[in-house]
Amino acid sequence: MDTVGIDSLDHFTIVNTIISLLLGISLSTASGFRVFVPLLIMSIAAGTGFLDLPTNFDWVGSNESLIVFAVASLLEVGAYYIPVLDNILDTIATPLAAAVGAFITASTVPPDMSPLVQWTLAIIAGGGSAGLIKSLTSIFRVGSTTATGGLANPIFATLELISSIALSILAIVLPILAGFIVLGLLIFGGFKVRRFIFKRKVDSTTPST
């Protein structure tokens, strides 16, 4: 009986860890669409008791954090509707998204995980997924600017915002489903970013006529 109880506990711990990672990575991926929106939704969920965070990350659900994340989200969302500034902001937002993505994943993993494993997973999985999606959206924005002279950029910015909100909420409510969606996004994003980099290398080595 004791052995069965221990095995069940270990199984529960493994499942809980996987779900926590899916939650964190999905929220991190959402920060690739809008950096601060997932933090705002996390803060709301934690403050209302819908999301349990480790003790050392309890401050995310405080009223002060909620205000800071709300203001940051409003400024970020508004900036992407300003011509030219949206493309400039992408250069700043890409490394910022990776940093925020790492923080989000680190804040959702079980507290009994060692700090080394916690932050290694956070940087690679959380930061990597956020940075990849932000790079993907930056590529699409450049293409939109080139093709439409920036006229379609507000529409693209709105789609990014909706994606960030929807994925953040889904990550908290249904992390397993969000995880599958994120997997598809990362595969698609990796293919597109790799293709973009390869094309730029080819263009740079092709002599102009």
Q: Would you state the pLDDT for residue 208?
A: 54
In this predicted structure, what is the pLDDT of residue 24? 95
Supply the DSSP string of 1-59, one letter for each residue: -HHHHHHHHHHHHHHHHHHHHHHHHHHHHHTTT-SSHHHHHHHHHHHTTSS---GGGGG
Give the pLDDT of residue 1. 43
- The pLDDT of residue 8 is 53
pLDDT of residue 151: 86
- The structural domains of the chain, with segments of one domain joined by +, span 2-205
Q: Alpha-carbon distance 31 to 76, whole Å?
A: 12
Q: Using alpha carbons only, what angle is made at residue 70 by residues 68 and 74, rounded to the nearest 5 degrees?
A: 120
The reported pLDDT for the residue numbered 156 is 92
Span 87-100, pLDDT tens digits? 788 888 889 999 99
Distance between CA 203 and CA 155 in Å, rounded?
29
pLDDT recorded at residue 4: 47
Residues of the chain with pLDDT under 50: 1-2, 4-6, 9
